[in-house]
Structure 1
Amino acid sequence: MRQSTLQMKKQFGTLATLGIAFAILNSWVAEAGSMLAPIALGGPVTIVWGCVAAAIFTTVLCLGVAELASAFPGAGGPYHYTYVLASEAHRKFLSFVVGWSNLIAWWFIISSAALFLASFVVGMAILTHPDYVAKAWQVWLVYVAIIVVATIIVIGGNDIMSFLTSMSLYWSLGCFFICFITAVAMHAGEPYRNASFVFGNFSNESGWSSSGTAFVVGWMLSTYNFLGIDAATHLSEEMPHPEIEVPRAMVGAIATGLVTAFLFLIALLFCITDINEIVTSPTGVPILAIFYQATGSKAAAIALTCLIFVSIMFSELAGILVAGRTAWAFARDNGLPFSKYFSELNETVKSPVRATLLSSFLAIAYGAIYIGSVVAFQSIVGSSIIMLFTTYGTPPTRAPSIALNRV
């Protein structure tokens, strides 16, 4: 590993580390932005129980990665653990594959968060101006603007990132309570749905002939809402005690994510009056349509959506921060083309500016696919689920004695 004369400041304590881990997962917010597919793939049953199943599945992987993060802290994260644990004959190849898979997945995470934000902006415009028809290139321009602004904040505000990540935790939890209480208290229209609808109604509108297949696909998509559990591992070199802080942040983020997401989903489902209207909403943003149904007010729906918008913006900041650190660590270990160039730390801000700009640039380039095919772009971004979970599962399989005896 090539060492630089410059060192990044150890600015992330326990709260800031938990903040960035939760900002990436932000499970209840992720559910708000990605409900459309689960609604079609089984409705309430897939939404509620798919969330629980996804959390359990992710927790199993998280415990393995957390143990390795405690034993072998390093900014490389999963590829670093793979290199340490794999046999001499296979470690370079496996760590190279895991490193690239992990890095590309993080670039996709940046893209998905930016797309959610762009969709929110366009959706709110459609809600207030029903005659407006958004073009794909307009969504992409908003997408680009969001990534550019977030990148400027991450690079220029490096010294305050620990403060921002800590605040993101408070903001997200505060928004959760506001949205939860407001949606329930302002419920308009028909009476609340009953418990049998919320916990037992299965409605397969996906086109799959098998309800079981629809549920499994919906469950797999629900795992997106617990994606990015390795975020804290990539900041290990910026923490005073990563062997303690990283595992705590990882487990704490999933636990908090499950509780908030589960309660939030239940509240929304009790307030939904017409699930088909949610699926076919011209806004293309299910949570915006749900808030509108729940409150009966466009202003209230937009206000609640704006709270979530800011929370996802924190996620975008965290994603760019982590992706930049991941690219920097991989370049430092000669995993990238032009590794020497991208492994340099900026002397002014003492952060990997080049690696961060690379990550943002590639995320913008990915977004251009959206102009040509929305489905193709969403499919590429969706592949981040498989890529990340593969990187989480690889290190423990290379050291079964450690995985079984210590995790």
Structure 2
Amino acid sequence: MNSAMDKNMMSQDVGIDATDQDDWDMQRLGKTQQFKRNFRFYSILGFTTTLMATWESILLTSTYGLTDGGRAGMVYVYIGSFVGFFSAVISMAEIASIQLPNIGWTVPLADTLNSNPTILSANPVLGWLSVLGWQAAFASICYLCGTLIQGLLVFNYSEPSGWVYGFERWHGTLLTIAIAAVGTLVNTWGYKILPPLEGLILALHLFGFVVVVVLMWAMSPGKASGDSVWKEFTNSGEWPSMGLACLVGQLTPIFSWTGPDAATHMSEEVQNAALVVPWCMVSTALINGGLGFIMLITLLYKMGDIQDVLAPASGFSFLPAVNHATGSVAATNAVAAIILVMEVCSAIGILATVSRQTFAFARDDALPFSKQLAHVNRRTQIPICSVLVSTIITVLLSLINIGSTAAFNAVASVMIAALFTTYILPIAAVIRVRFQPGGIPPSRFSLGIFGLPVNVFSLAWLCFAIIFTFFPTANNPTLVDMNWSILVFGAVVIFAIALYIVHGRRVYRAPVTQVRKVE
């Protein structure tokens, strides 16, 4: 398989074989090529790797894991969750190889024994959840960048002897809008530089990782004992058992791994997509999984006493942790600046992804104003309307934060549950079709005989993990601390079903109806 991959990678440089294969795949799925195929393996790898930003997210969201599970809990939950998550990634990679280069989650499973396709297509509810998940992801990452800036201001200007920064929710909203504006500018006016920019961002992602790890190990006056890192559990959320606390704390690694399927939503802009995109998904998971684990161990050994980093005034546990490790406010600010830059880059990639997913769903007449949302600008060959609408939605959502941060977090936190559902349904569909005559069609990325057990295991883990995305961070929460994402998630599902019954079933064109045999 590796030799085949190398051969096809070389064909991209020539630009002949890959283009022919992509054209054939587009014809097979009944789609018209509307985008330029500017992404190759390295640039799309940079796109997905920096979009996930795992080592950065481990630091940013460490409060969840440290609160529920502590040092040892974070280690073992990370390892266990990665096994389950990676099985889901390679399952989705195989599905992607079958369905590509269609950029919406559809599962075309052709009966290879005859010419008649036997297909379990993605339904409108799945499409709505995918659009919701990615839209929530964009709003969430913009808000995270904005609150990180606020956290840095609190960290640097909280002494009564000097100027003291007053944390205001509307400040966070304005900063969220500013980050969204940056992502919009790059995705519209800067569309030509996006593919090469992603390669540069990947280099920065790796370089920044090295800088942060070296600073924390080289400047630290000491480290925690091995027993405290590998054996010391914490249940600050006061859950009935330590095991339950650790499971609730898995939100830290889960949040850090969300988004490896972003490459599939960009697949109509990737050369040799049916091979490159699956391998990109797998490579992204391995690279970020490894970097995330090293950063996690570094944090746990160098952060100092766990009680000193929990509930920080800045809202981010990694700031006092890095400050303890380096003994320098300047070094802490430098680390935070690196993370902020990388998260802004992640926001750029997420906006590109959500706009393409919105375009794909609109192309099947499944959204209001589908004609406008599915329009691709002839000059730029990007769905500008979808980009702008995605930005406007984030701006409107950010206004919720002015009235209630808890309400905004409820919308933003639904991201994981929505995206996990878009993984669960296709994998369940593949398992079902494996038992039907003809099974799944051959693909350029295949799990072979391991396909069924990997699919079953990944499905079980996803169904198990999604339950804990709806948990609050502490037992017996107040109305403010409650995780209301399940309410938002349920409302979207009900809305999607109702919209389909009332309107969608008359106009929605399922991708299944467009798949045809191509000689």
Give the structure-2-normalised TM-score.
Answer: 0.74
| Code of the aligned partner of 2:147 | S
1:265 aligns with 2:293: no
Equivalent residue in structure 2 for 1:167, among 195, 200, 215: 200
Q: 1:283 aligns with which of 311, 314, 335?
A: 314
**Equivalent runs, 1:241-390 vs 2, <5 Å:** 241-390=272-421
CA-to-partner distance for each residue in 1:66-85, whole Å, 9 max, x for gaps?
0011122034342x227989
Question: For 2:251 and 2:151, how far apart are their aligned partners in 1?
Answer: 25
User: Take 1:394 and 1:404, find their aligned partners in 2: how far apart are those partners?
Assistant: 20
**Residues 101, 274 of structure 2: 8 Å contact kept:** no
1:211-254 CA distances to partner (integer Å, 9 max, x unpaired)? 11111111244211110121000111111201111011100111
Task: Look up the match of 1:151.
Answer: 184
Measured in 1, the distance between the counterparts of 2:78 and 2:243 equals 16
Partner secondary structure for residue 251 of structure 1: helix
Give aligned pairs, total: 401
- Alpha-carbon distance, 1:90 to partner: 9.7
Of residues 15, 23, 35, the one that matches 1:8 is 35
Distance 1:363 1:16 in 2: 26
Structure 1 residue 136, shift from structure 2 partner? 0.7
Shift of 1:170: 0.8
SS in 2 for 1:399: helix
Q: Distance in 2 between the 1:246 and 1:114 partners?
A: 26
Would you say 1:27 and 2:77 are equivalent positions?
no
User: 1:25 touches 1:254 (CA, 8 Å); kept in 2?
Assistant: no
CA 1:171–1:205: 2 relative to 1, 3 Å: same
Amino-acid identity (%): 26
Whichever of the two has the greater Rg, that structure is: 2
1:81 to 104, 107, 118: 107
Letter in 2 for 1:266: I
Q: In 2 relative to 1, CA 198–366 (structure 1 residues): closer, same or farther, beyond 3 Å?
A: same
Please state if 1:124 is matched with 2:152.
yes
TM-score (norm 1): 0.93
Alignment match, 1:176: 209
Structure 1 unaligned runs (5+)? none
Is 1:226 the equivalent of 2:257? Answer: yes
Q: Take 1:49 and 1:364, find their aligned partners in 2: how far apart are those partners?
A: 38
The answer to whether the 8 A contact 1:43-1:203 is kept is: yes
Aligned counterpart in structure 2 of residue 48 of structure 1, from 71, 75, 84: 75
1:65 to 69, 92, 97: 92
Deviation at 1:36, TM superposition (A): 1.0
Contact 2:99-2:107 within 8 A present in 1 as well: yes
What residue identity is the alignment partner of 2:182?
Answer: V
- Partner Cα separation in structure 1 for residue 109 and residue 237 of structure 2: 42
Cα deviation, residue 390, structure 1: 1.1
Write out aligned runs for 1:106-145 (5 A): 106-130=134-158, 131-145=164-178
Q: Which residue of 2 aligns with 1:104?
A: 132
Letter in 2 for 1:98: L
Higher relative contact order (CA 8 A, sep 6+): 1
Residues 22 and 253 of structure 1 are in contact (CA less than 8 Å); yes or no, is this contact kept in structure 2?
yes
The verdict on how the C-alpha distance between 1:362 and 1:89 changes in structure 2, with shifts beyond 3 A counting, is farther
Superposition deviation, residue 379 in structure 1: 2.8
More helix by share: 1
How far did 1:173 drift?
0.7
Residue among 246, 253, 278 paired with 1:215? 246
Which of 20, 33, 36 pairs up with 2:63?
36
CA distance in 2, matches of 1:275, 1:177: 24
- In 2, distance between residues paired with 1:339 and 1:405? 41
Give unpaired runs (5+ residues) of structure 2: 1-28, 159-163, 435-439, 441-446, 452-519
Q: Using a 3 Å threshold, how does the CA distance of structure 1 residues 84 and 58 change in structure 2: closer, same or farther?
A: farther
Q: 1:115, CA displacement in angstroms?
A: 1.7
